[in-house]
Chain A
Amino acid sequence: MFATNLQRYRQCHTGRSRVALTAVAMIVGILLAFIDTSVAFGAQSVSNYSISLNAAQVPSNPKQVTLTAQVSATGRTGNTTGMTVDFYLAASQFAGQFGGKAPLLLVGTAKTDASGVATVTYSPTWKGAQSLTAQINDASGNTLATASTTYTAGSASFPFKGTLQSKRPDGMLGRWVGGILLGILAILWLMLIGSAVRVNLIFKRTSHRYAR
């Protein structure tokens, strides 16, 4: 809030006055930092929250990842308890559609404990790099802080269990039946051609024995 006001203020003035005003504002800012801001402006508007995200494999289950978000407030060790932290995973397989930015999939939501720590357990569904984001919002939905990290999953759990065995002819006994039928076909061709050839051979052999 403070920074925004400053910026807006800065935009109103140009030239030499901007330098002077900036100096004044900086001094005011430094002074304000030493004063208990909660008295002057109220806790929410002054606290500058920050968040850090850490992803670590669950020791007992290598397919799971614990996402730990540490929320802290600068300026005042204010109220970081009971804040809602959303954990997102970037759906990188669809990144191309949205200007190169992967859309975010919510993988879990947790509230911070007394020390400002929120934890969810997440099972990666693909191996390799996963771009994870933790985010805290205020009551009206404005984002207070985000943090990102990348986790490389060594193993993954797939809800989808692969392809099924076809129940159609080619998936069952069809190959054997097809092979046998091809063999029968070969026999039939041999027998047909063989019959014609054989009759001709016999006729040839028996034709001139007593003729004339």
Chain B
Amino acid sequence: MTRKQVEKVDTTASTTIDDSRAEEAMSIAYDGVDPVPAREDIREAAMRPVLQTGKWWWTATITLSVVVIAGIFAWIMQLRDGLGSAGYNNQAFWAIYEADLVAFIGVTYGGAVVSAVLRLTKAHWRAPLTRIAEATALVTLPIGMMFIIPHLGESPRIWELVWPPYWNLSSPILWDFFAVSTYLLATMVFFYLPLIPDLKITLQRLSNGPDNIKTRICKKLYSIVGNNWVGSIAQRRTLHGALGLISIMIIPMAVSVHSVLSFAFSSSSRAGYLETIFPVLFVVGALYTGVALVIVMAAAFRRGYGLERYITGKHFVRLGFILVALGAAYLYLTFTEYLVDGYSGTIGNASWVYQTILGRYWIPFWFFVVGAGILPLAVLAFKRLRNTKGIVTASVIVLLAMWVKRLVIVIPPATEPLIKSPLNTANATWGTYHFTWIPIFITLAATAAIPLLMLVLFKFVPILPVAEMEEMAAEDGGLEEDLSSPDKNYYSDNRQIKRIPKMTERQVRQNVRY
């Protein structure tokens, strides 16, 4: 630490003490002391899931586990009987697993939006949601990646994707694999870094709690990194710098993941797959469903662990507005896609657009339009519906309708016959995908795995980002005021963590806790 930097900090310090002592005090304040006062209520609420295990927790976990095990059983059945048992055929070669892949990797984007975008835009209200959002991303991304396994016809050979001599670098699927892996690493780092201060808090709480195998293992693991946290300004700034950098990195990474995923479809000459709008459409759709899943998960865990004081109705309204903005964008992009293809009027495009909108796929298509296009707009437009219950219901329907939309994206172009008389297309037969129980069970298992893994995850880490929330609370106005005052303008809230509260020497000494 250079002299100049100390002096800069010095100007913020109290002038009631002489220079040499002030300098020493400030270096203590800077290097060794946590300037942010602890908030016992937040710590208690955040540690509630770790320390308490209710009866409903066991009920939920066991129920969800049963669904997951049923899905694994279905997958074993598929391994035994071949991919044909999942309802595929040569004229419907891509269907439900590919839609699942898009949908489940898509919902990870909630973490990127709530954590990274709102961090970069300094939206302080995001603080209580970040841990849930990042945990959702962390949990759903491996589940989404897992869909590669049933999707592959010869899944035991999946190791070939990490074997460089076999890499074909012009393949979108390979780059998809690269992009998702990188995004997974970024998500893990992004989850891990803000967790370091909270691990220290968890360590303290676990020491007071019961002593069993779980707490002993946790203490051992957490003390590797957690004990290094003292909460000094230096550490906080390091953490904020790293998080800012990763926030910036993770957004293009998230964009790349779904762009490359869409290239897998559009790297063909099939009408309905060859769309230049696909990367944008996929990314916006992923952000859309990601926010919807964060809303649903935040509502569920708020209810389950009684976090209403920190995750308030206002959070849901704000997330709801983000949801609607993304939903409107998605609807617009879909409209553009169909309109342009309809105009082109080539045989492939014309029959594909017709069959999707009015032909054999009209029911799922219009279910999407109503469920994911119009409904969230309506919910946010009417003040009577614009509440937590309405927004969460809309989010659930959005998730369902967007999954159906992914089926509508994947199945019609894959089932369109490619060899047909241009002047007499009546003889061309469309392929049909037949739903069977196996992919439906696997999809349900993946859906159940999201809350299951999050329930388990929050047995080990605090559900609220304690350090971050304490920082927000220590700033002017404080967290509670933010949340409780109804008429505060949150969007002009540009305060930054650089403005560490002023402290006198006495306060510094009082705050030395470690």
Contacts and interface: CB of A to CB of B under 8 A. Distances in A.
Interface stretch (B134-142, B222-230, B436-444): B222-230
A191 B249 contact: yes
A111 B310 CA distance: 104
Interface residues of B, number: 33
A180 to B, nearest CB: 11
Interface stretch (A127-135, A153-161, A203-211): A203-211
Given A193-B185, A199-B193, A203-B196, 20 more contacts: A169-B170, A170-B168, A174-B169, A174-B170, A178-B169, A188-B182, A188-B186, A189-B185, A196-B189, A196-B242, A199-B238, A206-B32, A206-B232, A207-B227, A207-B228, A207-B229, A207-B230, A207-B235, A210-B33, A211-B514
Contacts of B253: 188
Given A198-B242, A203-B225, A185 B230 contact: no
Given A195-B193, A210-B33, A189 B228 contact: no
A185 B192 contact: no
Given A185-B178, A199-B196, A210 B32 contact: yes
A199 B242 contact: yes
B228 A209 contact: no
Interface range for A: 20 to 34
Given A203-B228, A207-B228, A209-B32, A185 B189 contact: no
Contacts of A195: 189, 193, 242, 245-246
- Counting from the closest, the 3 A-B pairs by CB-CB distance are A210-B32, A170-B170, A203-B228
B379 interface: no
A204 B170 contact: no
Contacts of A193: 185, 189
A19 interface: no
Interface string B411-432: 0000000000000000000000
Interface string B153-184: 00000000000000011100001001000100
Contacts of B189: 192-193, 195-196
A8 interface: no
Interface in B399-414: none
B225 A206 contact: no
Contacts, number: 82
Interface in B476-514: 512, 514
A45 to B, nearest CB: 58
B234 interface: yes
Nearest to A210: B32
Contacts of B178: 185
B186 A192 contact: yes
Interface in B14-33: 28, 31-33
A182 interface: yes
22 contacts: A174-B169, A178-B170, A182-B169, A192-B182, A192-B185, A192-B246, A195-B189, A195-B193, A196-B242, A199-B193, A199-B196, A200-B225, A203-B225, A203-B228, A204-B228, A206-B31, A206-B228, A207-B228, A207-B229, A207-B230, A210-B28, A211-B230
Interface string B17-54: 00000000000100111000000000000000000000
B182 A185 contact: yes
A16 interface: no
B514 A212 contact: yes
Q: What is the interface of chain A mostly: helix, strand, loop, or mixed?
A: helix
Interface string B182-209: 1001100100110010000000000000
B89 to A, nearest CB: 28
B169 A206 contact: no
Contacts of A168: 170
Interface string A74-108: 00000000000000000000000000000000000
Interface in B237-271: 238-239, 242, 245-246, 249, 253
Contacts of B193: 195-196, 199
B16 to A, nearest CB: 21
B169 A209 contact: no
Contacts of B33: 210
Q: What is the interface of chain B mostly: helix, strand, loop, or mixed?
A: helix
A210 B230 CA distance: 9
A58 interface: no
A181 B178 CA distance: 10
A200 B228 CA distance: 8
A181 B259 CA distance: 14
A12 interface: no
A202 interface: yes
A191 to B, nearest CB: 7
B169 A170 contact: yes
A3 B253 CA distance: 90
Interface in A116-146: none
B232 A199 contact: no
A200 B239 CA distance: 10
A189 B168 CA distance: 20
B347 to A, nearest CB: 23
A16 B246 CA distance: 112
A178 B31 CA distance: 45
A203 B196 CA distance: 10
Nearest to A181: B175
A198 B245 CA distance: 13
Interface in B314-349: none
B232 to A, nearest CB: 6
A211 B229 CA distance: 10
Nearest to B246: A195
A211 B232 CA distance: 10
Contacts of B185: 189, 192-193
A185 B37 CA distance: 41
A198 B189 CA distance: 12
A199 B169 contact: no
A34 B1 CA distance: 129
Interface centre among A189, A196, A209 (most CB of B within 10 A): A196
B191 to A, nearest CB: 11
Interface centre among A188, A191, A209 (most CB of B within 10 A): A188
B32 A211 contact: yes
Nearest to A199: B242
B82 to A, nearest CB: 31
A194 to B, nearest CB: 10
A196 B192 CA distance: 8
Contacts of B228: 200, 203-204, 206-207
Contacts of A204: 228
A174 to B, nearest CB: 5
B8 to A, nearest CB: 18
B9 to A, nearest CB: 15
